[in-house]
Homo-oligomer: A and B are copies of this chain.
């Protein structure tokens, strides 16, 4: 507002990175990391790269497309744990944990992961590594291909749920309330739920996660059921 239209703005400021896909991606990634996907609007991104919202559409078709690229960048940072030290199964488990952690570091991104079919390089790199590990484990290729999908779905879903549970700014969705709701269950209608209230609402997220990974990898190793 102080300076009027600021003439020849582009030429006067050669320091400005000139607006590129990469600059937009980097800015979005930083914003997502610190605020979460749903608190990042296109106006915020535009402001971060010193432009208006309309300009972003020259580089990305839509907000969703932009977020898919951000997601793939995050996939690219996942630690691909090697089979060498503790065997393929432990390595695969560790890779899944790393995937979940990467998604949780960028709140809301997991929702994007569940809603899109992965085709970008970061996701392919992750799939390749998982296939490698399962090959070493002697999992038949057909099963392994299906498992890649199941694992990705599980990792994303876990990250989404976690976000809902920790519930930073959300309304009263705190775990304590859920715990109370289960304990207050009518013992006649829902005897098992009532009896297992504590176990069903156990807040130890790590234990839940490790249990799930163990179930999935264990089931994968078994021969197909007759």
Contacts and interface: CB of A to CB of B under 8 A. Distances in A.
Interface stretch (A9-17, A73-81, A209-217): A209-217
A125 B165 contact: no
Given A116-B173, A119-B181, A145 B219 contact: no
Contact of A150 (B142, B144, B177, B211): B211
B141 A196 contact: yes
A224 B213 CA distance: 11
A111 interface: yes
A164 B128 contact: no
A45 to B, nearest CB: 19
A1 interface: no
How many copies of this chain are found per oligomer?
2
Nearest to A219: B219
A114 B215 contact: no
B215 A164 contact: no
B177 A119 contact: yes
Interface in A173-221: 173, 175, 177-178, 181-182, 185, 189-193, 195-196, 199-200, 202, 207-208, 211-212, 214-220
B173 A117 contact: yes
B196 A144 contact: yes
22 contacts: A65-B171, A114-B161, A115-B160, A117-B178, A119-B178, A119-B181, A125-B190, A127-B192, A127-B193, A128-B190, A128-B192, A128-B193, A142-B199, A145-B200, A145-B202, A150-B211, A153-B157, A154-B154, A214-B225, A215-B216, A215-B219, A217-B219
Given A62-B171, A218-B218, A219-B219, 7 more contacts: A131-B192, A135-B192, A144-B196, A145-B196, A146-B208, A214-B225, A222-B222
